[in-house]
Structure formats: C-alpha cells, structure tokens
Structure 1
C-alpha cells in the first residue's frame, strides 16, 4: 500500500556537493519535493538530466530515491532471491513474479500475479501495476510502461537493437538490480 507522503510538509534538502561543501554552494539543490515528484513521474515525462546525473554521483541521494520508490511501490525487489545459473534470475516482487524469456533472439519481460493456489489472476486496474522502474547499483534508472494484462501476464517486448532495451537486458543479469512496480500516473 503506497505511503501517503505530503512533500510540501517536509523541509528537506539534499546536499549534492562533496562532503564538507555547504549547501549554499550547490548550483541547484534537490529538494525533497523535487525528488518525490521525480520518483512519481510518468514514463512519458521528460527526463530530468540534472537529477539523473546527481543520482549517479551521490549515493545518499540515490538511496533516498530508491527508498521513496519502495514507499510508493505496489511491490518491489531490491535483490534476486537466490543465485541462479540462468543469465536472468527469476525475481519475486511481493505476489508478482518477473521473468525474462528469450525466444529465438527476441526477449520479453513477463510479470505475473499468483494467487494462493498458484493460478494466475487478473486484479482490478487500481491494484495492477502500470509502470515498472529498474535501478542499478551505479544509479542508472530505466522506466517502462506496462502493457495490458493478457491471460494474467503483463509483458514488455524488448528490442536487443534498442540501446535502452539492451541496457535493461544487461542490468537484468545482476541479482542486485532494484525493481519497483508502480501504479499509473496522470500525464504530465
């Protein structure tokens, strides 16, 4: 259940400069509200390259960002459950299961929801994730909009020739990749 945060009530400023430098010297600091809004953007929203760069450069800011994501997520996984001999470890995100399927050089990400009996179920739209966000240890963030539920599965078709999709395929091999399933957002 997403946490009901009210960013306008929080007075919080991340010092994005090296340790020891004062906040006033930061060219443009990231406030809690700005980071909160970025964590809750829609996949169609433009990237904020300044925030993306600062997330890669500042470990404390990146941990705060992923903490916001986990607070807002329907389900998340910050590490694959166990070592696997497969190139792409199976991931459990709460009741959701994420797997990478390769079929003749084509790659698909499948996200399914299992009920107590192990049967695939389709939940109502409000409880179904609409967005998935991937966060690597080095601060790389990739976001995808999920397709419709078909036979209990949401699928992302990846194009190995597309740079973003190839980055994701490489990241999915890492057991420490953070994955966050989120609800839909209004268009920005």
Structure 2
C-alpha cells in the first residue's frame, strides 16, 4: 500500500496509541484504534508486534529489518518511544534522540517542523497513557478485564483483582458501584 504524507502521520499516531493501549490493558482503546491503524496502512503483522507486550522490543535495527511486521524507521522509533514513555516515564535526551533522528532521516522529513513532530509524538503518548489508565481504572466501558484482542496472539487472561472489597466482583463496573448495584455471585 502506497502511503501519502498524511497517512504516514496517521500510522505513527496509531502505533503510539496501540502500544500504550496494549501496555495498559486498554482493550476498549485497542478495539477502536486497530481499525484506524489498519486504515492508515498498519499491517496485521505490525499489529501483532505492537500488541505483543510479553516479548521485549528488539533494537530499532531489528524492527526495521525485512520480513513480516517490518516497520519503517519512524514507525520503529515511535513504537520504542511509546514503550519507553509508558514503562519508564522519564526518557531523557537519549530516549528522545532516536525519534528525532528517525524524523530527520525520514523520506517525508520536514526540517521546519521536526521538533513539532517530536512534541506531537510525546504528547500523543502522554495523552493516551492518561486516557487508557482512566478508562481501565474506572472500567467505564466494562472492558477492564478483557485483554486487548491483538491479532496473532492468544488472549491472555487478565489478572484478578485482590484489592477489591469483598462482595464486589472483578466484573463489577464503575457504573454498578456508583449506582449501588453489584453483580451477584
């Protein structure tokens, strides 16, 4: 699939959002953004690699090597950025440098907007970390206990909730708690 400059930006944004959703177990976000990622040209093999949080991400050079699930240099850089921001939070200069370098070397590079693109990538990742954690913490979509449906990966069971008060089932949603209703055992 030939990508236009606009769709290239779309794929980068969706890669960031999907990695954050996978890392934070936000199946609601994964379900909606998988469709957008596919529309932006992200392949099923790439989706599998994005959603596979059990396998550590390889070096950028391995993510961009030929084969199924191959990423472009900017795609690999934003995938690593999303991983690092979600798991480590603090990136430092060394954490931002691969993304900056990838955008500089991209065939669609735009030197006048280079720093803006990095800021957009970081702000997208930060916003979706907040959004996904909000959705999962409050179970606003009744999917907090449903694993992200990553193509090519077997569904992983979601861990139980030992911190829930007795009588509250893990499947109880924030709406049930707010309105005083609880699922019966």
> What is the TM-score of this pair, normalised by structure 2?
0.27
Larger fraction in helix: 2
Higher RCO (Cα < 8 Å, 6 or more apart): 2
